[in-house]
Chain A
Amino acid sequence: MATEEAKTVVPESVLKKRKREEQWALAKKQELDARKKKARENRKLIFGRAQQYAKEYESQERELIRLKREARMKGGFYVSPEAKLLFIIRIRGINAMHPKTRKILQLLRLRQIFNGVFLKVNKATMNMLQRVEPYVTYGYPNLKSVRELIYKRGYGKLNKQRIPLTDNLVVEQGLGKHGIICVEDLVHEIMTVGPHFKEANNFLWPFKLKAPLGGLKKKRNHYVEGGDAGNREAYINELIRRMN
């Protein structure tokens, strides 16, 4: 006990250090409180968004059914719009490849066998796919596929590093400036090829899938002739289930 009488000499550096530590502790507490508050607000925001997305997905499905029924009643056809989103999986190895197709696969970030990426559909990408068709299989993923892939095998590119998407903070750090602050936002952006699809897709490291349980039918042939390569439209989902 340092009383007035028994005055121990406290070195000035210790006093300074104590003061500094107080300040740091205070700053830390403030920061922690601010972060907690922000996280709580974020949580509400994320929940609201997730609800809105769930409604959106459901209404999209019902809309499709309604339009088809309407067309059939009138004796016409409802042609649903072509898919905007593709999921590509590389199914062949790296040996003996033409340099041009090798380059295209590199551009698509498919450098390893059973790597998968999402891709927006437009004339440019479709032409690229045409060149590499014998080496990949692709199709139209549904919501469950997109969700499962991102939740189970989603990794983000932060500072050129492959960081697992364990927390919404990772997503926020990577894509916060585009308004994507949680994994559900990311799923929504990918699924409904949104305005920031390019950034969101690039943020996602290419998916490293396992070899498909139950096997592939015949890599060397196109899907249409009994094999595996090329466009298999909705049946990509079944393959993703086996490879995820």
Chain B
Amino acid sequence: MIKLFSRRRFDMVAFRFHQYQVVGRALPTAADEHPKIYRMKLWATNEVRAKSKFWYFLRKLKKVKKSNGQVLAINEIFERKPTKIKNYGIWLRYQSRTGYHNMYKEYRDTTLNGAVEQMYNEMASRHRVRHHCIQIIKTATIPSKLCKRESTKQFHDSKIKFPLVFKKVRPPTRKLKTTYKASRPNLFM
């Protein structure tokens, strides 16, 4: 299915989800002077939630909790090339009404945070999965040859053309922008 205008793009700054790198370890004890340091990359809306998520995952993987551990560093990870269009593949694990499932989804976006946000929105709309039931296993940029989904592959055309079906009528200056106008606009191209 060809989907035009499939993404709302006002991505100035307003990403809901930010990518953080959280580094933590268990607290040093008499038995273990230099416990192993673990690093995790995860998505959260802010740093407080990122730290909490970190302990959630680490508890599932290692025998350490927030009460006997410490976060050494938390840094936000920013997109290296936010102007280059990339195909992102996201592997996720989500909880549906009946059980846990794995999924692989592809998105075409300029930034990883944008792709992750698209993913959360899509999971919510298509599968009614809220964001706390989704765990991102892995993300990667996929070269165009290896993309699997038709909806991203349809854009892999250097001579892509599609018609603009209607004209967006804008006031010539922002000052003349009003909520109500006297006449309906003519959208014919």
Interface set of A (CB-CB < 8 Å, partner B): 77, 79, 223-226, 231-235
Question: Which of A79, A223, A224 counts the most B-chain CB atoms under 10 A from its CB?
Answer: A224
Residue of A nearest to B72 (CB): A77
Is B46 in contact with A235, judged by CB distance below 8 angstroms? yes
Q: Hey, which chain A residues are within 8 Å of B70, CB to CB? A: 79
Is B49 in contact with A224, judged by CB distance below 8 angstroms? yes
Is B48 in contact with A231, judged by CB distance below 8 angstroms? yes
B164 within 8 A of A: no
Q: Hey, which chain B residues are within 8 Å of A231, CB to CB? A: 48
B7 within 8 A of A: no
**A-facing residues in B53-86 (Cβ within 8 Å):** 70-73
Q: How many residues of B contact A (CB 8 A)?
A: 11
A223 to B72, CA, bound (A): 22
Contact of B72 among A79, A226, A232, A235 (CB under 8 A): A79
Identify the 8 closest CB pairs spanning chains A and B, nearest first: A77-B72, A224-B52, A77-B73, A233-B48, A79-B72, A224-B49, A232-B48, A235-B48
Residue of B nearest to A232 (CB): B48
Secondary structure class of chain A's binding surface, majority of residues: helix
Nearest chain A CB to B120 CB, angstrom units: 13
A231 to B47, CA, bound (A): 12
Residue of A nearest to B55 (CB): A224
Is B23 in contact with A224, judged by CB distance below 8 angstroms? no
Q: Hey, which chain B residues are within 8 Å of A77, CB to CB? A: 23, 72-73
- Contact string against A for B residues 1-30, beta-carbon threshold 8 Å, 1 for contact and 0 otherwise: 000000000000000000000010000000
Residue of A nearest to B132 (CB): A225
6 pairs, A vs B, C-beta closer than 8 Å: A79-B72, A223-B48, A223-B49, A226-B132, A234-B48, A235-B48
A225 to B47, CA, bound (A): 13
Nearest chain A CB to B124 CB, angstrom units: 14
Q: Hey, which chain B residues are within 8 Å of A225, CB to CB? A: 132
A225 to B46, CA, bound (A): 12
Residue of A nearest to B45 (CB): A226
Residue of A nearest to B25 (CB): A77
A235 to B50, CA, bound (A): 14
Nearest chain A CB to B3 CB, angstrom units: 30
Nearest chain B CB to A217 CB, angstrom units: 11
Nearest chain B CB to A69 CB, angstrom units: 13
Residue of A nearest to B73 (CB): A77
Residue of A nearest to B46 (CB): A235
A91 to B71, CA, bound (A): 28
- Contact string against A for B residues 38-51, beta-carbon threshold 8 Å, 1 for contact and 0 otherwise: 00000000111100
